[in-house]
Amino acid sequence: MTFRAPVRDLAFALSTVGHDALVKRAFPELDADTISAVLEAAGGFTTDVLAPLNRRGDLDGAKIENGVVRAAPGFAEAYRQFAEQGWNSLAADPQFGGQGLPKAMELAVFEMVHAANMAFGLCPMLTQAAVEALTLHGTEKQKRLVLPKLVSGEWTGAMVLTEPQAGTDLAALSARAEPDGDGGYRLYGQKIFITWGDHDATDNICHLVLARLPDAPPGVKGISLFLTSKHLLDDEGNLGARNDFRPASIEHKLGIHGSPTCVMLYEGAKAELVGEPNQGLAHMFVMMNAARLQVGVQGVAIAERAFQQALAFSQERRQGRAAWAADGAIWGHPDVRRMLTLSKAKIEAARGICLTTGVLADIARLADTEEERAAARARQELLTPIAKAWSTDVGVEVASLGVQVHGGMGFIEETGAAQHYRDARIAPIYEGTNGVQALDLVGRKVPMAGGAVMRELCAEMQVTAQTLADTAELAAVGRRLAAGVGALERATEWVLANGGTAAQAASTPYLKLAGDVIGGWFLGRQALAAAGASDPWLQSKPALARFYAAQVLAGAPGLADSVCEGAGDLEHVSPEALAG
């Protein structure tokens, strides 16, 4: 199935999440024609260059040969084109060679990249996360020698956290950094699951590594962040001898076969401290939060790719007597149409959440007053775990529905539908499992300012619900959204009043409830923007909002009930009872 970059959907979504107002205030030199040209060019590149490599990357994958990782066939050349055309530098600071475009535009471009080829997109995604970390916490020398190379894409970056005994629990990290006597450090240890930790697409790779100094306190308070590169650098940033770290193997994974996931060995690698000693986890969180938002975008992207394939198949496949298709195409079967419409609605909802989080990131940096910046920062922090977890759950759900639409053919690898499902399944796991995102939401983000950030968001959503209720063709959406926001408010007050283990047990249903309602809010806003339009494409937006309201928002009160049950019987369930 030929991939079609969703340029029009992305442009419309940007226009409804506050991007236009942001551009007018903070990017006055950026006009509508330029935005359109960037999206169209990215759509062409992803469609023509990256999408055709997706299946080959899945079948052939990355390889390790004589200690060297070889990218999947065609990936290295595609990466060189990607960097040369400037796609790596969209939102980076111009002082380091970036183009200084809005974050939401970068996310829109990267949605197309991930949809075309998710395994490929992981490489520049992690490079951008490294750029953000070094921009905030790097030394002047690191910014001068390393940042421009990462921004341009001449070099790539990798995030190096996990060890065999330390996955989510970073307090268990044992990699060590020993002073070398010359103001630098030597790194020792083994790391696993290092995405694009080694490859042959660029001459150099910069690793941001968590490790412990000799006198570090135990736990997460004793972790520092270090920069080390595949090749040693001289004082002008020129590449020298190979550094003392190497890939021991690459993982054999369920999906994203084109992305080399490496076991890395650090055997005295020369490194530099990034930021302050023993503050590495806080510094790394800059990189992790950037990656978490991008992973949310991956969820949207893989859902879009799976949906496109399933929609095309539904119009080609003839089976049985279709109620709404005289030619027997399965698109005419009500349940097939239900699955596809639900998929499209959830894609639009997740896209709205992710792009809004990107807009907030720019407002938090560029707004005129500290009050505005602080409010945007707080809402960005609130939405980030929802963007990551809810959107990646949507990716898996839609990819699974795509297999279902294909029927038995979806379970056959040759159709390609199974690849999207396999690729999607990692996104709820890496960059902090979705369960961890839910714990972060109820434990840290909802309680911010005594719950004021979520309460203010709910109040804003209720205003939209009233506007929808006052619009004849959208009145049902307004009623459902109002009830959904009411359910979220009730669940939020319960979380704030209880906390602890009870809130932890309810965290996943709470995050789902929040995503369902906030996603419905974005669909309602799109519907209002398109109301009364004569264009059939725009007319689909109110229809999607009505369908989502009936199929998803209608379940919000029940989800709130689930949240308010807290731990229920969980504390008393035993493995023996479950095993039977």
Q: Supply the residues annotated as catalytic.
A: 431
User: Who contacts 275 (Cβ-Cβ below 8 Å, separation ≥6)?
Assistant: 137, 138, 224, 225, 282, 283
Contacts of 68 (CB under 8 A, 6+ apart): 198, 200, 247
Closest CA to 22 of 378, 352, 356: 356
Outline where 317-369 has alpha helix (H): 334-366
Beta carbons of 519 and 296 less than 8 angstroms apart: no
Whole-number Cα distances in Å, 14 to 110, 232, 348: 14, 42, 11
CA pair distance 143, 400, nearest whole angstrom = 43
Per the DSSP assignment, residues forming a β-bridge with 186 are: 178, 270
Structural contact between residues 127 and 156, judged by C-beta atoms closer than 8 angstroms: yes
Q: Under DSSP, is residue 152 helix (H, G, I), strand (E, B) or coil?
A: helix
Q: Provide φ and ψ at 199, rounded to 5°.
A: -175, 175
Helices (H), ranges, 367-451: 370-406, 417-424, 434-440
DSSP for residue 553? G
Q: How far is CA 575 from CA 17, 140, 505, 506, 578, in A?
A: 46, 54, 17, 20, 5
* Dist CA 300 CA 13 (whole Å): 13
DSSP state of 571: G
